Structure 1
């Protein structure tokens, strides 16, 4: 159905792909889900595939592989693959349905970073538990130093990573921000 695979595979195979346009469409998909009362809970690059027509589709490929916590370190079960995209408030909840539209927006920001940089959030940190502890301690991912993420995009990501979930932007606003940034790149103003 989706021969180009995930969005990550797609942008590697198509280095000139308009990442901001793709990510704006992803944000639009998240906004649509939220408008229908659906919280995805596992937004990440692996769960976004590119259809034959070039449009991104949000899926759920079952990233909820769970590892058992080591006694004395974590008293709960931790989804190993998805920790890097989890909002900090999710670690404090004992509820299975703690995912919210705000935690989806946090994960969307991590996905934007992932797609733009070509690296998982919190790269090069490898340990799942160390990454979880860093997130709980308020550590945000480092900005890639390759210039791929503009100051405006980095500011938008930081808004989405606001620790208080009640003041994070909603997905339609994120889509609007990405559209503004995309248009600024596609139609730059030239100084004479």
Structure 2
């Protein structure tokens, strides 16, 4: 998870202007993957890498011009796409203003949801119903029995999926929360390991 967050953060910290991925989705393969897992020989561990920059663009300061490879806001899959990307006018935006670092935070968190639950957002729902849910501003339901999504994680996800994009947390806050969760899980697992007595 941290590799993915760091990859998006790297794009957003581009020196001239943030690069918006614009299509963060999928590790399950139902819509194609945007995350590749490979072995990093330098780190000697598996590493997640962002791929598929077909909808990426450099966010201009005045938002009048954008270097985009597609002009449609709905080219991404509905299950992951931020609310404002479907109907920018409903949120007081022009289409060119709908893809931002905040829409990437929304879509990244949908991907994190997918990784933690093992299924896409709105799992078990046909695509047309998932699209209708997103158009209504609905979020996926919290899955029962998913040990990776406790109350704190769920509340963070809901903040990241806020219809008010200015209310969404920053990538730094998201990273800090996930990092603390990983540390806590590792601590709890290691504290359960009892040395064998001889």
What is the TM-score when the length of structure 2 is the normalising length? 0.71
Gaps of 5+ in 2: 27-32, 41-45, 57-71, 89-93, 192-198
Residues 73-130 of structure 1, C-alpha deviations (whole Å, 9 max, x = no match): xxx8843x611111111111362563111110000110011011111101111133x2
- Give the RMSD, CA atoms, in angstroms: 2.4
Larger Rg: 2
Q: How many residues were matched structurally?
A: 156
1:52 matched residue in structure 2:
39
2:160 is the alignment partner of 1:168: no
CA drift of 1:147 comes to 2.5
Say which SS state the counterpart of residue 166 (structure 1) adopts: helix
Q: Distance in 2 between matches of 1:170 and 1:185?
A: 23
Q: Distance in 1 between matches of 2:182 and 2:171?
A: 16
Work out which structure has the larger RCO, using CA pairs closer than 8 Å and 6 or more positions apart in sequence: 1
Say which SS state the counterpart of residue 145 (structure 1) adopts: coil
CA drift of 1:182 comes to 0.7
CA contact (8 A) 1:24 1:175 kept: yes
Gaps of 5+ in 1: 1-22, 65-75
2:60 matched residue in structure 1:
none
Counterparts of 1:23-102 in structure 2, within 5 Å, are 23-36=1-14, 37-45=18-26, 46-53=33-40, 54-60=46-52, 78-79=74-75, 82-93=77-88, 95=95, 98-102=98-102
CA contact (8 A) 1:25 1:175 kept: no
CA contact (8 A) 1:105 1:160 kept: yes
1:124 matched residue in structure 2:
124
